[in-house]
Structure 1
């Protein structure tokens, strides 16, 4: 009697990369990311060290890769970026915020209102359930929004898709705008020294602040604890006692790559399939928010007299860490102003997000 033996369905249907050894997955990820970084660098795109690994991670994630950035490495990477932001903040920004707080707070509130309205429309039209669209549309640290969404009954998978899709679209668009807006022929680009003479004390201090700040952020239960914890501690030390951080290019490059991989590898095939039906509406809402924030940036540039690129990045709807990396990689941008507005908006989201979610849940259910 002939008997047909069928292969296991799960094994046959599983993406090919999921069956590869972890070492092979990381080798392919490194190779793909290096090729993308080289291409973006040749094209003159800022933040290529972030966007290249991010795109490489997406390609691997949808191919079924199971590799993930270890949490300790990811926490230190965010801590290093927090130190980078802390070192760029000067006391000169506070008088500016004091003098111009009405337009700055107006821009923050307008961005929050626009994102909330778009989220309400998507929920009202039953494109996404409950408060999922609200948390997915809210600008801020993507990981923090995903975690907060779970506490309010939203579908974390769809929130993650919306948040990270916005991160990618805004990262690429902001980088392209930076490369097109800034006249690179009129500026002298310093030669990048990847491996300078090591400053053992400075490097140890920087790593110490990144690690200690990350752990303090977790103990204090801050949202996006690794980034915010190290940034707050770094700012206190930098502004309080004048501490300078040693941030060699190789350390920043590794941190950018780890963050990019973390974002990209989150795009697994099941998550994308789950959100595919709502993808056009998601992209439309992201585009609308991007245009709205771009108009706010233009208005702020005209009213405050700051350069257009600084205003554009300051009003760009996050994620905060990604905008920080792009701003750091773009010449002649006022990093302090960008991060002041981004941080103010993020903190406001943390304050009003929970009650706003409850209100929207009652409104949509009505």
Structure 2
């Protein structure tokens, strides 16, 4: 009983710190504020010696929620958008392959990261999904979160700075999505849990996360539901994810932090260079402004890039569609790359 009480107190403390940090991050307007604010708060607490940690069973619940929330955010009409801009969407695919392959290789070759850490650090988007997989034990979550946070902060801050010099008075708010009813939520949760459990039993890396994501994505694209998860549940998911990430930072050294920070700057630079070169190549084949192509292909936040597109008078449908498709492609690419990395590690393991 004493052990159970201690574990409960530790979990409650960890979630409380994450919730407080998440609230602060959201209030300050940080990207993915509830997630990143929570992760940063628990990280500071862990590095300061606070007794933070999450039991395995609670961790698995968080993993299912992460996967379910990722699948539920896939746009139901994303598959229909693919045929509208074939050349630029082909450029988007090439860009993603180059960013992941080159950045992952550089992170592994020059920063000494293992393949899981290097490639999860290279994915240009789906931050919460990447963090969820990292928290599930794929790669070094501490290195991944530092690199990814630096990348998204630079890209997110750069867009508002650019728009300060533009005549923008108002960005129309996106229509509020319809929230799923309790029955749909419970059925979706049950299906995601079942598939996640099956993936975990099959020894698939981050099985609960990937299984839940696969189930929710299939259901969304299959038309079984077209509503969004309740915002409070999404917030709880981000708080839990932040707690999982931050609790892994116990014992991190300054050298380890500095190396990851430099890696984040390098990864961001590579991403911007590759995006610019691909956009330039695509511009020779389509009759549209180079800037519009670049904004559509740039791996920044959909809201920021959409606002920039409005400010510059670009086709907002083009910009939005390309960012939706990018997230859809990453929803499939991330688990595929993780599985390939694990298979490669098994083949090269000593004695095998």
- TM-score of the two chains, using structure 2 as the length reference: 0.69
* 2:225 corresponds to 1:236: no
Q: For residues 68 and 355 of structure 1, do their structure 2 counterparts lie closer, same or farther at Cα, with a shift above 3 Å needed?
A: closer
SS of 2:266's partner is helix
The answer to whether residue 171 in structure 2 is matched with residue 187 in structure 1 is yes
Superimposed CA distance per residue, residues 195-216 of structure 1 (whole angstroms, 9 cap, x where no aligned partner): x988222222332333233224
Shift of 1:239: 2.5
Distance in 1, Cα, partners of 2:333 & 2:114 = 19
Q: 1:58 to 1:21 in 2, by over 3 A?
A: same
Asked whether 1:287 is paired with 2:271, we answer no
Q: Deviations over 1:165-199 (max 9, x none)?
A: 22333344454446556788522447989xx9882
Query: What pairs up with 1:153-302 in 2 under 5 angstroms?
Result: 159-177=140-158, 180=161, 185-189=169-173, 199-269=181-251, 272-273=252-253, 276-300=254-278
Asked whether 1:49 is paired with 2:34, we answer yes
Look up the match of 1:60.
45
Quote the residue 2:22 is aligned against. 37
Query: How far 1:283 moved relative to its partner?
Result: 2.3
Structure 1 contact 115–137 (Cα < 8 Å) conserved: yes
Deviation of 1:61 after TM superposition, in Å, equals 1.8
CA distance in 2, matches of 1:96, 1:122: 40
Number of aligned residue pairs: give it: 310
Q: C-alpha distance in 2, partners of 1:328/1:226?
A: 29
Residues 107-144 of structure 1: per-residue CA shift (max 9 Å, x gap) = 23322123213421334xxxxxxxx4444322354675
Report the more deviating stretch, 106-115 or 80-89.
80-89
Note closer, same or farther for the CA distance 1:232–1:22 as it changes in structure 2 (3 Å cut).
Answer: closer
Q: Deviations over 1:297-351 (max 9, x none)?
A: 344556376575653337xxxxxxxxxxx65898665453221342454356347
Q: CA deviation at 1:55?
A: 1.1
Displacement, 1:225?
Answer: 2.5
1:212 and 1:21 map into 2 onto residues whose CA distance is 30
Match of 2:126 in 1: none
2:71 corresponding residue in structure 1: 83
Q: Deviations over 1:21-76 (max 9, x none)?
A: 55655565455444433433343333211111111221222223233162232122
CA distance in 2, matches of 1:210, 1:329: 31
Q: Distance in 2 between matches of 1:279 and 1:243?
A: 42
Kindly tell me: are residues 42 and 308 of structure 1, through their superposed partners in 2, closer, same or farther at Cα, counting changes over 3 Å? farther
1:107 aligned residue: 95
| 1:116 maps onto 2:102 in alignment | no
Separation (CA, whole Å) in 2 of partners of 1:197 and 1:143: 23
Contact 1:45 1:179 in 2 (8 A): no
For residues 173 and 7 of structure 2, the distance between their equivalents in structure 1, rounded to whole angstroms, comes to 39
Q: CA RMSD in A?
A: 4.2
Deviates more, 1:259-268 or 1:108-117: 108-117
In structure 2, the gaps of 5 or more residues are 124-129, 308-319
Q: In 2, distance between residues paired with 1:163 and 1:36?
A: 19
Find the residue that maps to 2:53 and give its secondary structure: coil
Q: Which deviates the most, 59-68 or 45-54?
A: 59-68
Residues 356 and 211 (structure 1), Cα distance of their counterparts in 2 relative to 1, 3 Å cut: closer
Indicate the SS of the match to 1:95: coil
Between 84-93 and 289-298, the greater mean CA deviation after superposition: 84-93
Shift of 1:288: 0.7
Q: Choose the corresponding residue for 1:95, options 83, 91, 94.
A: 83
Q: What is the DSSP-based 3-state SS (H/G/I as helix, E as strand, rest coil) of the residue aligned with 2:51?
A: coil
CA contact (8 A) 1:25 1:67 kept: yes
